Amino acid sequence: MRAPGTPTIRLTIARSPHELATLAADAVVEALPGDRAPVLGVATGSSPSGVYVELARRQAAGEIDLRDASAFALDEYVGLPDGDPHSYRAVVDEQVVVPLGLDPARVHVPHGSAADLAAEAASYERRISEAGGVDVQILGIGRNGHIAFNEPGSALDSRTREAELAPETIADNARFFDNPDQVPRRCVTQGVGTILDARRIVLVAQGEAKADALAHALEDAVSPAWPATALQQHADVIVIVDEAAASSLTPEARAAAGVGIR
Ligand code: GLP
C-alpha cells in the first residue's frame, strides 16, 4: 500500500507551453511500439492541442512516422449533426488526422448521432479491442476532475456509454459555441475503465482553473467523486502540467515532481 499522498504517478511541472508539449510528445513517442502500427488515444480540449502540433513537427522533420497509426478519440457530443464544426470528430480531424496525415478510416470517434447509442458504445469498445488496445492515451482533465466525459459520480470501472454532461462542463465548453444553450447536454464517452486499459496515459493540464482538480486527482483517495483519482490505479501514468495547474499541490507532491528538463 502506498502511503497517503505519495504520488505513484510521474509528475513534471513544465516551465512553458512549449516545454509542456515537448515533454508530453516525448512521453508519447517513448510508448510507441517499434514492431507494429501504433494505436493512439486522442483527447480534445485546449491542453492537448500543442502536443499534436509537436508530434506533427517531429513527423515533418522525419523524426517519427505516425502515418500508419490508428487512433481512438475519448468522447463525442450527442445531438450535433454529422459534420458539425463543434463535434469532436471535426476537432480530431483538424488537430490530429490532417496534421499527422492519418488515414481517416483508422481514426475512430464515437458516433454521437447514431440512432442506437448503446450499440454504438458497444461497437466502440469492440473496435478498441480489435485494434489490440490503446498504446498511449493523451488525456486532459476537466475542472471538476472529469476524464473524457466521465463526470463526478462515474463508476471507476465504467465502459463506453451514453452519459450526461455536468453543469460545470457545459459552462466550460460554452466558449466553443455561440451561445451556452447550444452546448449539447449528452455525450458518448469512453468509460474510466476503458481509459485505464491504455498501456500508457499522458495527462496534460494547463492553467489555474485545473489546479484544484489536479490536486484532488493526485492526492485524494481514489473515488468516483473525482474520476481522475482512478489514474492512481494505473502503472504507467505521466502527468505534465504548467506551474498554474500545479499551484494547489501540497509541498510533498511538488517535492516528488520533476521540474522541466529542457
Ligand atoms: C472536455 C473534454 C475532456 C477534456 C476537457 C478539458 O470536456 N471532453 O476530455 O479533458 O474538456 O479540456 P481543456 O484541456 O480544454 O481544458
Which atom of ligand 1 is the closest one to the Cα of 209? 16
Report whether 30 contacts 64 (CB < 8 A): no
For position 159, what pLDDT does the model report? 98
Q: Which of 44, 164, 241 to mutate to test the pocket of ligand 1 (most atoms within 8 A of CB)?
A: 44
Question: Nearest residue CA, atom 5 of ligand 1?
Answer: 142
Instruction: Verify whether ligand 1 is closer than 6 Å to residue 149 (CB atom).
Output: yes
Residue 256 pLDDT greater than 80, yes or no: no
With a CB cutoff of 8 Å and minimum separation 6, the contacts of 57 are none
pLDDT tens string 67-125? 999 999 999 999 999 999 999 999 999 999 999 999 999 999 999 999 999 999 999 99
- Grid coordinates representing 218 are 493526485
Strand partners, 12: 240, 258
Instruction: Verify whether ligand 1 is closer than 6 Å to residue 169 (CB atom).
Output: yes
Q: 40 alpha carbon to ligand 1 midpoint, in Å?
A: 17
Given pLDDT bands bounded at 50, 70 and 90, which one contains residue 259? low
pLDDT tens string 26-57? 999 999 999 999 999 999 988 999 999 999 99
For position 7, what pLDDT does the model report? 43
For position 257, what pLDDT does the model report? 72
Q: Which residues are catalytic?
A: 75, 144, 146, 151
For position 255, what pLDDT does the model report? 80
Q: 142 alpha carbon to ligand 1 midpoint, in Å?
A: 5
Kindly state the DSSP code that residue 81 receives in the 8-state scheme.
P
Across 222-237, average pLDDT: 97
Question: Nearest residue CA, atom 6 of ligand 1?
Answer: 142
What order of strands is seen across the sheet that includes strand 186-189?
75-78, 186-189, 161-164
CA of 53: how far to CAs of 84, 117, 153, 200, in Å?
Answer: 23, 32, 33, 20
Report whether 221 contacts 184 (CB < 8 A): no
Q: 1 alpha carbon to ligand 1 midpoint, in Å?
A: 31
Instruction: Verify whether ligand 1 is closer than 6 Å to residue 148 (CB atom).
Output: yes
| DSSP E strand stretches across 74-206 | 75-78, 107-108, 136-139, 161-164, 186-189, 200-205
User: Could you tell me if residue 83 is left (phi over 0), alpha (psi between -120 and 50 degrees) or otherwise beta?
Assistant: left
Instruction: Verify whether ligand 1 is closer than 6 Å to residue 46 (CB atom).
Output: yes
Instruction: Verify whether ligand 1 is closer than 6 Å to residue 257 (CB atom).
Output: no
pLDDT tens string 211-227? 999 999 999 999 999 99
Instruction: Verify whether ligand 1 is closer than 6 Å to residue 138 (CB atom).
Output: no
Task: State the chain's mean pLDDT as an integer.
Answer: 94
With a CB cutoff of 8 Å and minimum separation 6, the contacts of 179 are none
Q: 219 alpha carbon to ligand 1 midpoint, in Å?
A: 20
φ/ψ of residue 226, rounded to 5 = -130, 90
